[in-house]
A and B are shown apart, each in its own frame.
Chain A
Amino acid sequence: MSSEVFAITSENLTKKFGDRVAVNQLSLSIRKGSIYGFLGPNGSGKTTTIRILCGLLAATSGNGTVLGFDVMTQSEEIKKRIGYMSQKFSLYEDLTVNENLNFYAGIYGIRGQQKEKRKKELLEMAGLIGREDQLAGSLSGGWKQRLALSCALLHEPEVLILDEPTAGVDPVSRRIFWDTIHQLAKQGITVLVTTHYMDEAQTCDWIGFIFFGNMLAQGTPESLIQEYGGENLEDVFIMLVEQEERRVSGADQKTSVSGEVGGNR
C-alpha cells in the first residue's frame, strides 16, 4: 500500500457491536491532498468508521492506515498528525475562545512565538478576531464550528477528519466553512468529511456512499452521476439507498444487518 499517494486507506474494515454489524468489510483509499466526502443516511456507519480511523474505537477485523500508521497499533502516532472535529461541539463552553486555543496549543506542545503566530493565523481564518475573550458557549453555531476547526488545525495536521461539521449551521456560515476547507486542501491537507448536504458533497474530489455499514459506491461526483444515470448526486444517493433496501429485505435476514440502527454510536 503506498502511503506516498494515499493519506488514508482501509481494507475490509469491520466493526461489530454485539450482533450488529456497524461497518461491514469497508475498503477505501483517500489520496493525499484531496477532499473525500463520506455520504450515507444516519446510522449507516460513517461515524463508526471515522472513530476507528482516529483510534477512538478498535475495529473487529480488517485493517486501516492513516499516513502510513496502522490504526490498530499506532493510533497515538496518528493522533499527533490529524485534526478531528466531532458532530457535537466538543470544546469547553466555559472557557473563552482564547483559553480554548491556549489549552489545545498546550496539549499539542505548541509554545511561545509559534503558538502566538499560529493562534493569530487561525483567529483570522475563523474570523474570530475581537472575540478572543468571549466564552465559547456564548458563540453562535457558525462561530463555534470555526473555533472547533481552529483548535483542530492548531498543530498543522496533515489530515483533517470532520464528522458532519456543518450540521445545524446557517447557509452563510456553511459556505464560509467550506471555502476554508477547500483552501486547506489546496495547501495539501487531506480532508475526510461526512455530510448530508449534497451541494457540499458535489464539491468533494471523491465520494463514498455508505449504507448499513456497506460501501455501496465510490468515485468522483461526476463519474457517480454518469454511472447511475441521475440528474445529480441526490438522485444517485436515493437510488442507491432504495436499491440497497430492496436487496436487504429480499435477502433472508440471517445476517443481522438490522435496519434498527439508532443514532451514530
Chain B
Amino acid sequence: MKRNRLDLFSMGRFLSIVKKEIIQFKRDKPSLAIALAMPIMMLMLFGYAISTDVENIKTTVWDQSRSADSRDVIASLEHTQLFEVVSYSLSEQEVEDQIDQGKADVALIIPPDFAHKRDNDEPVALQMLINGSDPNIARTATANAQLIIQHKALAVQEKILASKGMGELEQPMSLETRVLFNPDMDSNVFNIPGLIGLIMQNVTMILTAFSLVREKEKGTMEQLNVTPIKPVELFLGKITPYFFIGMFSFLVVLILGIYWFHVPVKGSMSLLVTLSGMFLITTLALGMFVSIISKTQLQAMQLAFAFILPSVLLSGFLFPRDTMPMVIQWIGAIVPLTYYLEILRGIFLKGVGVEALWQDIINLMIFFVLLLSIAVLRFRKKVE
C-alpha cells in the first residue's frame, strides 16, 4: 500500500479497538454491572458498615447502693451517650450472665456502702467490668469511664474544699485539645475518601484484568496478532474506554460521598479529579498487566484478588500505616493505592494542595510511568 509516513501509531486502528470495546462492553451485562452498580453498592455497604465510631455501649448496672448518689453516677455515664444502660442486675451471677450472653459489654458495680461512705467523705471505689473482645469498644469504655468518674471526684473534692473555706480549686496544669480537619471525629469523614480510592482500584482492575485474557481464551487474540496492529494501539485502545467508565464511576461515588454521606471536599476539586484520573490510569495499567501475564480468566481473577486484598490492609485504608512494622510499611509502599489515599484524604479532609502532597504525587507518577511501560513492553504479539 502507498504509505510513506512512519507507521508507528495508527489512529484508525486505535479507534477501531476503542469502538469494538465499547460495543462489547455495552453488550456484556456483568461488566456493566461491575462498572455502574458495584461502585454505588460498595460505597453504600462499606459507608455504613465501616464505622469505627463507638456509641451506646451496652451497659448493665448492679446498683447495690440504690441511693441518690449512685443514681447520680449512673446518670453522668448515660449523659455521654457512650454508655447505654440496658439492664439492671441484682447479683454477681446476673452481671456475669449479661456479659457472657453478649447482652452487655460493660458492667458497672456500685458497692452497698457507696452512699454511706460518700456521706462521710470517705474514699470509695466503683467497679467496672469490660468485655475486652473488641479492643476498640474496651478502650473507649475504659478511657471514658475513667474520665467521667475522675471528673465527678474532682467536683466532690472542690465541694469539700469550698466547705472548708479554701475557695476555688485551681488546676496547676491543663490540656486544651482542638481537633483539626474532622472536629467531630466522625469516622465516615475519614473512611469515605479512602473508600472512593478503594472502589476505583477494584472496579477498574477487575474490568481490565479480564479484557485481554478473555480474548486469549476465545482465540480472538490470535486473530488480532496476525494483523498489523501495534501493541501500543491495542493497549491504549483497550484502556481508553475503561478510563471514561472509571471516571464516570468515580464521579458517581464522589457525588454520593459529598451529598449522601456529607463528606465535604475542602481542597481543590480540579486537583482531586486530575490526580484521580492519573490513579485510574495506573490501576488500568495494573489490570492490563494482570491480563497480560495470565493465561486464563480464572488466573486473572485470582491474581487481581491476590492484589486487592493486601492493598486493603496495607494501604492504610483500614489501619494507619505509621503503626505498622517497618517491613509491612515497605510492602505497603509498593501499593499505588497507598499514595492515592494520602492524596484523597489530604484534599478531602485537610484541603491541602500540591505543596503538601507533592511526595505522594511523585510516587503515584512513578507507578503511573512504571506500570504503563511494563505493561506496554511486556505485551507481545506472540502466542505462548
Contacts and interface: CB of A to CB of B under 8 A. Distances in A.
B12 A94 contact: no
A55 B226 contact: yes
Interface of B: 1, 10, 12-13, 15-17, 19-20, 23-24, 27-28, 218-220, 222-229, 381-383
A104 B227 contact: yes
Nearest to A84: B226
A106 B383 contact: no
Contacts of B19: 102-103, 106
A92 B220 contact: yes
B222 A56 contact: yes
Q: How big is the A interface, by class?
A: 20 to 34
Given A86-B219, A90-B222, A103-B16, A108 B28 contact: no
A86 B218 CA distance: 12
A82 B226 CA distance: 8
B226 A79 contact: yes
A54 B226 contact: yes
A91 B223 contact: yes
Nearest to B3: A109
Contact of B219 (A89, A95, A107, A108): A89
A107 B16 contact: yes
Contacts of B222: 56, 86, 88, 90
Contacts of A82: 226
Contacts of A129: none
Contacts of B382: 56-58
8 contacts: A54-B226, A56-B381, A58-B382, A82-B226, A86-B223, A89-B219, A90-B220, A94-B27
Interface string A97-115: 0010011111111010000
Contacts of A151: 223
Nearest to B227: A107
Contacts of A58: 382
A7 to B, nearest CB: 16
A93 interface: yes
A76 interface: yes
A196 interface: no
Interface in A39-63: 51, 54-58
A91 B20 CA distance: 12
A80 interface: yes
A108 B382 CA distance: 19
B24 A94 contact: yes
A51 B227 CA distance: 13
A102 B219 CA distance: 19
Contacts of B218: 90, 93
Contact of B227 (A79, A86, A94, A102): A79
Nearest to B222: A86
Contact of B225 (A56, A99, A104, A109): A56
Contact of A88 (B12, B15, B219): B219
Contacts of A56: 222, 225-226, 381-383
B84 to A, nearest CB: 56
A201 to B, nearest CB: 24
A57 B381 CA distance: 9
Contact of A80 (B12, B223, B225, B228): B228
B231 to A, nearest CB: 11
B40 to A, nearest CB: 25
B228 A90 contact: no
A89 B223 CA distance: 9
A91 B220 contact: yes
B24 A107 contact: no
Given A51-B383, A103-B16, 13 more contacts: A56-B381, A57-B382, A88-B219, A88-B222, A90-B220, A90-B223, A94-B24, A99-B20, A102-B16, A102-B19, A106-B16, A107-B224, A108-B227
B228 A79 contact: yes
Given A51-B383, A57-B382, A91-B220, A99 B23 contact: yes
Given A86-B223, A90-B218, A94-B28, A107 B228 contact: yes
> Sorted from nearest, which 8 A-B pairs have the closest CB atoms?
A106-B16, A90-B219, A90-B223, A88-B219, A84-B226, A80-B228, A107-B227, A56-B383
Contacts of A111: 12
Contacts of A84: 223, 226
B219 A80 contact: no
A160 B222 CA distance: 15
A111 B10 CA distance: 13
Nearest to B229: A107
A88 B23 CA distance: 22
A109 B13 contact: yes
A54 B226 CA distance: 6
Contacts of A106: 12-13, 15-16, 19
Given A86-B223, A106-B19, A107-B13, A92 B383 contact: no
A214 B24 CA distance: 42
B31 to A, nearest CB: 11
B223 to A, nearest CB: 4
A57 B223 contact: no
Contacts of B17: 107
A82 B229 CA distance: 13
Identify the interface centre among B10, B17, B24, B223: most chain A CB within 10 Å of its CB.
Answer: B223
Nearest to B224: A107
Contacts of A57: 382-383
B238 to A, nearest CB: 13
